[in-house]
Chain A
Amino acid sequence: MQREPAAAEEPGCPGGRRRRRRRRRRPGDGRTRVVRSNLLPPPGVEDPAAGAAKGARRRRRGGAQRLADNRLKTTKYTLLSFLPKNLFEQFHRLANVYFVFIALLNFVPAVNAFQPGLALAPVLFILAVTAFKDLWEDYSRHRSDHEINHLGCLVFSREEKQYVNRFWKEIRVGDFVRLRCNEIIPADILLLSSSDPDGLCHIETANLDGETNLKRRQVVRGFSELVSEFNPLMFTSVIECEKPNNDLTRFRGCIIHDNGKKAGLYKENLLLRGCTIRNTEAVVGIVIYAGHETKALLNNSGPRYKRSQLERQMNCDVLWCVLLLICMSLFSAVGHGLWVQRYQEKKSLFDVPESDGSSLSPVTAAVYSFLTMIIILQVLIPISLYVSIEIVKVCQVYFINQDIELYDEETDSQLQCRALNITEDLGQIQYIFSDKTGTLTENKMVFRRCTVSGIEYSHDANAQRLARYQEADSEEEEAVSKGGSLPQRGSIGSHQSVRIMHRSQSTKSHRRTGSRAEAKWASMLSKHTAFSSPMEKDITPDPKLFEKVSECDRCLAIARHQEHPLAHLSPELSDVFDFFIALTICNTVVVTSPDQPRQKVRVRFEVKSPVKTIEDFLRRFSPSRLTSGCSSIGSLATNKATHKSGSNFLSTLSNDRTLLKLEEKLSQPTKAIASNGYSSGAASWAPEHTAQEQELEKEKEQEWELRYEAESPDEAALVYAARAYNCALVDRLHDQVSVELPHLGRLTFELLHILGFDSIRKRMSVVIRHPLTDEINVYTKGADSVVMDLLLPCSSDDARGRHQKKIRSKTQNYLNLYAVEGLRTLCIAKRVLSKEEYACWLQSHLEAESSLDNREELLFQSAIRLETNLHLLGATGIEDRLQDGVPETIAKLRQAGLQIWVLTGDKQETAINIAYACKLLDHDEEVITLNAESQEACAALLDQCLHYVKSKSPCSTPQKTEGNVSVGFSPLCPPSTSTTSGPSPSLVIDGRSLAYALDKNLEDKFLFLAKQCRSVLCCRSTPLQKSMVVKLVRSKLKAMTLAIGDGANDVSMIQVADVGVGISGQEGMQAVMASDFAVPRFRYLERLLIVHGHWCYSRLANMVLYFFYKNTMFVGLLFWFQFYCGFSASAMIDQWYLIFFNLLFSSLPQLVTGVLDKDVPADVLLTAPQLYKSGQNMEEYRPRTFWLNMADAAFQSLVCFFIPYLAYYDSDTDVFTWGTPITAIALFTFLLHLGIETKTWTWLNWIACGFSILLFFTVALIYNASCATCYPPSNPYWTMQTLLGDPVFYLTCLIAPVAALLPRLFFKAVQGNLFPTQLQLGRQLAKRSPKKLIAPKETFAQGHLLGEPRTESSEQRSIKTSGPLSQDCTSQASWHVQQPACSPEASGEPNVVDMNMPLREDILLEELSGQAPGSVPREAILEGCSGASKMKPTSTSRTAPLSSIFNLPNFSSLNWISSFSLVSGLGSILQFSRNSLQMDKQDSEFLPSPPQPDQDLCGLSGQTTDYF
């Protein structure tokens, strides 16, 4: 198998050819593709086996003729096509065309300014650099392509009649490929055979979509029934399928057998390229799509090209420069024309006439002069600007990637920049749009609480344990960071070996595109921590509930031989039992054990489920099947009783022959069936008992090694929770689920159907046959809002119905309570189906399944038919923990002046509570909730809110000004936002209202309101709405937006925003693939924006400004000279210097500065995030600074021109001997200017500057000594050498730069000392020793978090509960003003004023009052608040006008939670800034608990006196 490793050298098939081929094919074969086995003689070839090699080649040609092969070719160029293609691409850039045009202008003799060859040099240089970069990229792509193309896999060879090893690139469509466990799938393959007993194959699609759970794929129907080994030679069917497309979630087609039978193909049959086979020993399939037609590659789009705001602004200024250039040239042309006219009459001696002796007319001369001037002054448009910016950005990206502080050790991933050219946008963000789940939260689900049939089990022990975990976690982190080393977490140690194995396997293929592979790593590694972290696994059961579960178990174990085992349980206990059964089986969790994949069992079970046909159904429900059913349960428990299942198989075969009609089956009395089944089941169960128990013991030990791999983390959490109650999912086959209970033993549920979860239904269901009752049960699990509506309507007449109703309302209340706590809620419900109902449903469902068009819609309808009249079992509350550092990050980002909006699909209560938890909302601030039922209501509500916000704003203005004043004077005082934004409320809006608010008529109002608000929370929003919101803000407010998210639902938002950030987390790679930057955690956003964003922006802005300055100044020198040479476009600077000055002599220092300069060090930026605002306000680069800069450039060029002019005036110097000092002066001035602008001088800067000077003089000396007669017109032989012996040269070089830079330096010094900007203050702050910095930093945080306890304590929670109580009353407009206790009159009771609040249950009130004492400490904390006395009147006066809103009929609910303790905090903050000593005293009253702040404040007070 040794082949030439020459993927590209071979006359490859570049994209063009492939495209051509596709085009040719299009008219021919329409919308489908037909795939045949390659092993069959292709039509038209008579003798296929005419020799192995020849045949193989022909076969290959035959295949390749029509369809793409599996060769991966991501390279853009071949050796031949590189030059033309690359040049073509480069000339798409307007600047390049411009420069080439200018260079070509030199070839026109009349206007040429430079030697044509020389003029081309810079352009060629730039083009060459870019081309080299492209070439290098292409080469690395080629190398990785080559590597992937030469991976091996087993392909069936006709010649050798067996599977032989081939390279990936040799695989054709129609080949048969055999894949073993942990192999990567080389192409899109239709699964034809699997070693799995059920014809299943598990694949991991992490590489494709980042989802780390295993997906199940199924052998094509018809092939799974084959008993013998699949033989590719026998495969004669024809496959018809769709054309290649990039839809990963869809595959349609059919397979046509020889006998004309058709079978449908779905995405479950397709193995996608790039995925990995897991848990399956071997599979065989036929290649359907290969190479670039695979879905994986069709989905693979390159990095995005965005244009940053700064670049847009810069382009605008480039246009100004063009205008300036034209003006200068015009001026010069007119001047020349006049000059020529003046000297025309008398033929001056110095006049050079045309070759025929006539002299040019003034107009012609002017035109020539104009063109020549354009050439000479072309430097004004900086040719190197674009290249330099690109270089700087690449370096910036490199440094961001390298930042160790952005490295996440847990996932071993660092930040990735996927978009290379918008780094500076990071420094100008104004709005952040964030997803919630997985972005703010971990998306690691932990089971917290549940309620079953109306009784709540609070799992207190579990909560405590979790708290301990959290502490331990943080301690561990500290230890890690202290030690500096990076030890592995103990908790994941057990997965270590697995991880390494995964790594070594997947590295090969996933280096295709670096970022993808990296992202894959992240998900790979996070997998084990995510889905089997000890937190989820070890759940401390609630003792009460545990007792009940055991009781069920015991009862049922005893009663299992009786007719209605469940009837022996009380309704509650039976609910408990069903609840846990539902938790255990109503999911798609795959049980894996660390050992090897399941062996292929020769003899299969007779039934394949889900039930596919009516015959299937009949077979299953035939009496004989039922009698043997329980024996199979027993045999399943032992799992390897093959002989028994063999007999089963035989018996079913006979059953098949004696099929009875459906009606007959159904008419059989269920009772009889059940009893029949049970007796036989018990019979088979009893004798094996002892042996089985031993086995159980063994398995129990093993059981702990079982891992659950779920599609969503919630599912895993629930299954682990059920296992904690000894109700463990032990095995899941395609058609059955086994649950292990301590007394009952293993219960095997026959799985009839799974109706998977989808986001429209928001629920999933399983249809099973209960082994105990033999009933057909539907277990449904879904969002509470959906499930609650699907419950069986219960009459309030009988006691049972009333009881049910009570349970429901109780459950609903608990659900609300969970939501308040920020838990994700799920409802569990059940439905018992009669056989008739089931049969009826099944029929329609099968019809739906088999229909070809409109299948999804029909299936949806079918699911709805099944999931009705449910019986509520209970509900669960799962906690999605906040990610580390989210509240702190949000606080910092907010200080930085960023508006943070959270757009989530979660429900309002959960979202609000997460928002509280992550300090997005403050308990001390008002929350405006917008829930409107109709367009009109929404409009009215918006008006009301606007009115309210406006009426509020005047009272906040005095505080605002105070805050600003204090900011102006001290770098240490809190930022203005924290002081001023206090009074501004927050807005919460739900999806429906959002839809109304985003309407054309209302969007302005909505935006205006949202602008006034401190934070905005959009709940229940769809992905489309998310992107619409972002688009709205971006287009209407002209603001820079950043969207961050982790899931597929955030993709649209990420794409719309100026900067899209993906979190490479749990939910897959879609978000990352769409993003510009991928961060491992939300908290890294802080450093990314505040530090790197700021740096990138300020560096680039300064560099661009410097570029403009430099070029203008240089061009100015030439322009002034025109006044002394009759505007003849003569240049005193040697053309070599002119051309290479920008490119060589003066380029390096600014690059170094552009890459490395740090205007403010990172720690100061992080301490004082308000410095970020300079970027938002575009302080560094705005039109004013640009023009100032240009004016300075003009001044400097005047000085640098006239000092040498006057110094050499009246001397015998010649043009170029005079021009050389000017060049030197310009160089020195540039470097000194850069020196003033550079804030940090590292040795690199010094080296770069030194290098520049050295390079200039070296080049000049060499150039001036190289050729005596060359380089006309300057002919600079020995010029520099002569100059170096001339004192005047040194004298001018000394004075001119000093004089030129004097004003700038003076201005800078005065401005920096008298009116320092925030940045300059920050810089001064940095100059102090870093030790001093720590003190203000901590007090800063303290001051900011005033009025709210740092950690989430119980007393805070109690206040929280009071808020959302009103939110469940959706029927009425509710309005409550909450004022926690900042009045001196406040008693120990929470002062909650709830108006018009219909409570559903009194219990809650009781609970609330029960918890109320907990809030007393908070009161105590706040009692000392000084400004409190004024609070009371304000609050009461405010409630009065608000109550008028009740009269508005249309409001579903409108909640104002206004609380005023923040105002007191505000007052204290102001005082804090004013007088730190007083603050010190006050603060000790505020925060009695931690002793450190006092010390910090002491440090601060000492510090502040030091400052003033």
Chain B
Amino acid sequence: MKRISEDYQSRLPDNTALKQQQLPAYRLQLSATGVLSGFFAAGAFCLGMGIILILSAKSIKEIEVKYTKICANCAELREDATNFDKECTCSIPFYLSETMKGNVYMYYKLYGFYQNLYQYILSRSNSQLLGTDLKDVGNCAPFSNSHDGTPIAPCGAIANSIFNDTIILSYNLNSSIPIEVPMLKSKITWWTDKYVKFQNPSSINLSSAFAGTTKPPYWSKPVYELDEEDPGNNGFLNDDFIVWMRTAAFPTFKKLYRRLNRIQYFIEGLPAGNYSLLIFDFPVTRFKGEKSVVLSTLTWSGGSSLFLGLAYTVTGAVTWLAAFSMMAIHLMLKKKKMLFIQD
């Protein structure tokens, strides 16, 4: 009220740039020269990037060994539940033509295994895996409790369907004596998984810690006996288990299994030569998929994929194509009608 009676032009709007919508503004002008130079620059960048990426991807050495069919007999054997305990091995020889230098990683790769199914992803108990409450099996149904009601540890479909093939890589230095390639099973998980997200329940020993729980139905061993060699790699802290629990994005995926321990013959990496895989199996036909083992090196850009390089190259090429066509039209019309807007 005071304000109104005091000054005469009481309702004169403020003359500020914002209120008058007069803010200094940059206008995006799609002018010919601007657009063309932008397109050419972007194209050049993409092409350059693409070439670099392709070159680096080329330096990756990778070999994939499928063993689904070769080990089909094992699968059949496992179909029958009574043959549960029987050992079934199969051996797949393969030849590495080139030396794989540097760190070599061994992956297992599954085709057509839908780890990203909506219900499947849900079927786990994070708090159980953290070791705080073994009896928390909330989302794990129907793999939450065994028939007699004891909670399953680890519960849920993910844990239940764990990849349990054992893969042993041997190097045939000479044609006769195979040398088992030394592999490390540590540091194959995210650090945070191993040290934050997964914890064993605290107790004197693991078996007592997991007392009162039972193993998942498809498992042959309880969770505290997963790694007989390394007692520290047991329970929820088992690296293979942790890797498996990180559900893959696509139905075809690979997961890190082992990494090369660069000692003895393998200081440089995997030398070229004859190798063989010895596999203790995982019932693969149950998902109509295929299994394979992948040996691969890494580069700075991580994965082995050639795609990113290609994507950059193609995008760069298309951009240049577009730029050239625009320039052609531009020049044509400029000559003809003087219609093109100049700057």
Q: A403-B13, A1272-B126, A1302-B318 are in contact. Are A1218 and B249 (CB under 8 A)?
A: yes
Tell me if B254 and A1211 are in contact (CB < 8 A): yes
Q: Does A1214 contact B (CB under 8 A)?
A: yes
Is B149 part of the contact surface with A, judged by Cβ < 8 Å? no
Asked if residues A412 and B116 are in contact (CB atoms below 8 Å), the reply is no
A135 to chain B minimum Cβ distance, whole angstroms, is 25
Q: Interface 1/0s, chain A 61-77, versus B by CB < 8 A?
A: 00000000000000000
B196 and A518 form a contact (CB under 8 A): no
The docked-state distance in angstroms from the alpha carbon of A804 to that of B73 is 131
Q: Closest A-chain residue to B322, C-beta based?
A: A1306
A1214 close to B157 (CB less than 8 A): no
Q: Which residues from B are CB-within-8-Å of A1128?
A: 114, 116-119
**What is the CA–CA distance of A1326 and B253 in the complex, to the nearest angstrom?**
55
Q: How far is the CB of B39 from chain A (nearest CB, A)?
A: 8
Interchain CB contact (< 8 A) of B126 among A1158, A1209, A1275, A1298: A1275
What 1/0 flags go to A1116-1147 for Cβ under 8 Å of B? 00000000111011101000000000000000
Q: A820 to B255, alpha carbons, bound, how many Å?
A: 95
- Interface-lining segment among B82-90, B176-184, B206-214, B279-287: B279-287
User: In this assembly, does B69 line the interface, its C-beta being within 8 Å of a C-beta of chain A?
Assistant: no
- B255 and A1212 contacting across the interface, CB-CB below 8 Å: yes
Knowing A350-B157, A1310-B326 are in contact, say whether A1269-B27 is a contact too (CB < 8 A). no
Choose from A402, A486, A1243, A1309 the contact partner of B20 (Cβ within 8 Å).
Answer: A402
Residue among B8, B127, B130, B315 with max Cβ neighbours from chain A (10 Å)? B8
Q: A521 interface residue, CB < 8 Å from B?
A: yes
Contact status A1208-B303, CB under 8 Å: yes
Mark the stretch among A378-386, A587-595, A1282-1290 that contacts chain B.
Answer: A1282-1290
- Does A669 belong to the interface (CB within 8 Å)? no
Looking at the assembled complex, report how far the CB atom of A999 sits from the nearest CB atom of chain B, in whole angstroms. 47
Residues of B236-266 at the interface with A, using a CB-CB cut-off of 8 Å, are: 243, 246-256
What residues on A are CB-neighbors of B13 within 8 Å?
401-404, 407, 414
Please, what's the 1-or-0 string for A1263-1294, where 1 marks a CB less than 8 Å from any CB in chain B? 00000111011010110001000111001101
Residues in chain B near residue A1287, CB distance under 8 A: 300-302
- In the complex, how many angstroms separate the beta carbon of B149 from the nearest chain A beta carbon? 13
A508-B1 in contact (CB<8A): yes
Q: Does A409 lie within 8 Å of B26, measured CB to CB?
A: no
In the docked arrangement, what's the CA distance between A1287 and B142, Å?
A: 40
A351, A409, A508, most chain B CB atoms within 10 A: A351
Decide: B196 and A1278 in contact? CB cutoff 8 A: yes
Which residues 257-311 in B have Cβ within 8 Å of A in the complex?
A: 283, 285-288, 300-305, 307-308, 311
Cross-chain contact of B23 among A403, A507, A1244, A1278 (Cβ < 8 A): A1244
Query: Cβ of A1214 and Cβ of B248 under 8 Å apart?
Result: yes
Question: How far does the alpha carbon of A343 sit from the alpha carbon of B288 in the complex, in Å?
Answer: 8
Q: Does A1406 contact B (CB under 8 A)?
A: no
Give the shortest distance, in Å, between A496 (CB) and chain B (any CB): 9
- Cα separation A1288 to B4 with both chains bound (whole Å): 62
- With both chains docked as a complex, state the minimum distance between the C-beta of B263 and any C-beta of chain A, in angstroms: 25
Establish whether residues A486 and B8, one from each chain, have CB atoms under 8 Å apart when the complex forms: yes
Stretch at the interface among B92-100, B167-175, B223-231, B335-343: B335-343
Contacts of B27 in A (CB 8 A): 1239-1241, 1323, 1326-1327
- Which residue of A is nearest B250, CB measured? A1124
Which segment of A35-43, A265-273, A354-362, A811-819 sits at the interface? A354-362
A500–B5 alpha-carbon span in the complex (Å): 7
- Is B141 interfacial (CB-CB < 8 Å)? yes
With CB as the reference atom, state the residue of chain A lying closest to B21: A399
Binds B, one of A572-580, A1312-1320, A1347-1355: A1312-1320
- Is the beta-carbon distance between A350 and B114 smaller than 8 angstroms? yes
Cα distance, A414 to B14, chains bound together (Å): 12
| In-complex Cβ contact of A1288 among B39, B46, B303, B339 (8 A) | B303
Q: Determine whether the beta carbon of A350 is less than 8 Å from that of B311.
A: no
Q: Which of B23, B113, B252 contacts A1243 (CB 8 A)?
A: B23
With a cutoff of 8 Å between Cβ atoms, the chain B residues found around residue A518 in the complex are 11
Across the interface, do B307 and A1206 meet the contact criterion of CB distance under 8 Å? yes
Tell me which residues across on chain A come within 8 A of B307, comparing CB atoms: 1206-1207, 1209
Please determine whether A1295 and B302 come into contact, CB atoms closer than 8 angstroms: no
- Judged by a CB distance under 8 angstroms, whether A1156 is at the interface is yes
B117 contacts which chain A residues (CB < 8 A)? 350-352, 1125-1126, 1128, 1130
Q: Which of A350, A403, A1275, A1323 contacts B120 (CB 8 A)?
A: A350
Please report the C-alpha to C-alpha distance between residue A1125 and residue B249 in the assembled complex, in whole angstroms: 8
Contact A1206 B10 (CB under 8 A): no
Contact A354 B126 (CB under 8 A): no
- Given A1207-B311, A1326-B27: A372 and B118 interface contact (C-beta under 8 Å): yes
Contact call B197/A1269, Cβ cutoff below 8 A = yes
B residues in contact with A1292, CB < 8 Å: 308
Q: Do B326 and A1306 touch (CB < 8 A)?
A: yes
* Chain B residue contacts of A486, Cβ below 8 A: 8-9, 12
Tally of chain A residues near chain B (CB < 8 A): 103
Chain A contacts for B20, CB-based, 8 A: 402-404
Contact B249 A1273 (CB under 8 A): no
Q: How far is the CB of B2 from chain A (nearest CB, A)?
A: 9
Partner of A1268, one of B161, B197, B253: B197
Are B29 and A1324 neighbours in the complex by a CB distance under 8 Å?
yes
A1236 at interface, CB cutoff 8 A: yes
Whether A413 lies near B11 (C-beta < 8 A) is yes
Instruction: Return the chain A residue nearest B162 by Cβ.
Output: A349
Report whether B14 and A402 are in contact in the complex, using a CB–CB cutoff of 8 Å: yes
- Is A1183 positioned at the interface, with any CB of B under 8 Å from its CB? no
Closest to B108 in A: A1212
Q: Is the CB of B315 within 8 A of A1299?
A: yes
Best-buried of B24, B122, B192, B254 by chain A (most CB within 10 Å): B192
Of B42, B122, B197, which is within 8 A of A1298 by CB? B42
Q: Which residues of A contact B46 (CB under 8 A)?
A: 1295, 1298
Asked if A407 and B301 sit within 8 Å, CB to CB, the answer is no
- Determine the chain A residues whose CB is within 8 A of the CB of B124 once the complex forms: 1272-1273
Within 8 Å by CB of B251, from A507, A1125, A1129, A1324, lies: A1125
Inter-subunit contact B9/A1278 (CB<8 Å):
no
- In the complex, which of the residues B9, B26, B129, B287 contacts A348, with contact meaning CB atoms closer than 8 Å? B287
CB of A1125 within 8 A of CB of B30, answer no
Are A1124 and B28 within 8 A (Cβ)? no
- Of A355, A402, A1241, A1288, which contacts B308 at CB under 8 A? A1288
CA distance A1240 to B25 in the complex (A): 5
Choice from A351, A404, A1205, A1241 contacting B26 with Cβ under 8 Å: A1241
A403 contact set on B, CB distance < 8 A:
13, 20-21
Compute how far the CA of A791 lies from the CA of B119 in the bound complex, rounded to whole angstroms: 97
User: Which residues of B are found within 8 Å of A1203, using beta-carbon distances?
Assistant: 311
Contact B9 A412 (CB under 8 A): yes
Task: Report Cα–Cα, A1217/B249, bound state, in Å.
Answer: 8
Which residue on B lies nearest to A485, using beta carbons?
A: B9
In whole Å, how far is B62's beta carbon from the nearest beta carbon of chain A?
9
> A1130–B142 contact, CB under 8 A?
no
Asked whether A1272 and B122 contact (CB < 8 A) given A354-B142, A1124-B116, A1209-B250, the answer is yes
B12 touches A409 (CB 8 A): yes
Task: Tell me if B187 counts as interface (CB < 8 A to partner A).
Answer: no
Question: A-contacting residues of B (Cβ < 8 Å)?
Answer: 1, 4-5, 8-15, 19-21, 23-32, 35, 39, 42, 46, 49, 53, 107, 109, 113-124, 126-127, 129-130, 139, 141-142, 157, 160-161, 190, 192, 196-197, 218, 243, 246-256, 283, 285-288, 300-305, 307-308, 311-312, 315, 318-319, 322, 326, 329-330, 333, 338-341
The 8 closest A-B pairs by CB, nearest first: A1240-B25, A1269-B126, A349-B161, A1130-B118, A1218-B249, A1128-B118, A1242-B23, A1278-B192
Q: Could you write out 10 A-B pairs with CB less than 8 Å apart?
A: A414-B12, A1124-B251, A1158-B21, A1208-B249, A1209-B252, A1210-B253, A1218-B249, A1295-B49, A1313-B340, A1314-B329
Q: A352-B119, A1207-B307, A1272-B126 are in contact. List 5 more A-B contacts (CB 8 A).
A: A1210-B254, A1211-B253, A1286-B302, A1291-B312, A1302-B318
